[in-house]
Amino acid sequence: MPDHDAAMLVHYLVVGAMLFGLGATGFLARRNIIVMFLCAEMMLQGVSLSLVAWSRYHDDFGGQLLVLFIIAVAACEAAIALALVLMLFRRRGSLDIVLWQDLREADQPPAVDRELPESPPEPAPEWPRLAPAGRQPEVPREETEYRPHV
């Protein structure tokens, strides 16, 4: 039976590591504040899953009790994050984290995004027009009697 417990532990640890890795990747790659908070929550859940797996493997409730505290802290963090997101959106009108450069430390240079080359504006599409009511549209005879694509 110990082999079964060890295999189950490995599976839970792999899922926990994947959750943590996805959360860390999302946190580092995205610039939206809400997505960053959700990725931080995903990292916490990956750690929680690993703690529960180790706790179950060692038949100890210490890891599970720690997970209860993590869930309580995550709930408080979600409430504070909602208030923070609402305040930040009201002040700047956007949830892009780059707009908050003034909150960095004094000795840190501002982050500068790479400028994209300007693309030429696309011409407005030519939309088909309906013929005026009561009149037949003037269509060249070649278009109706000869079809080169058939």
Whole-prediction pTM: 0.65
Predicted local distance difference test score (pLDDT) of residue 4: 80
Read out DSSP for 74-124? HHHHHHHHHHHHHHHHHHHS--BGGGGGGGS-TTSPPP-PPPPPPPPPPPP
pLDDT tens-digit readout, 86-107: 888 888 888 888 777 777 788 8
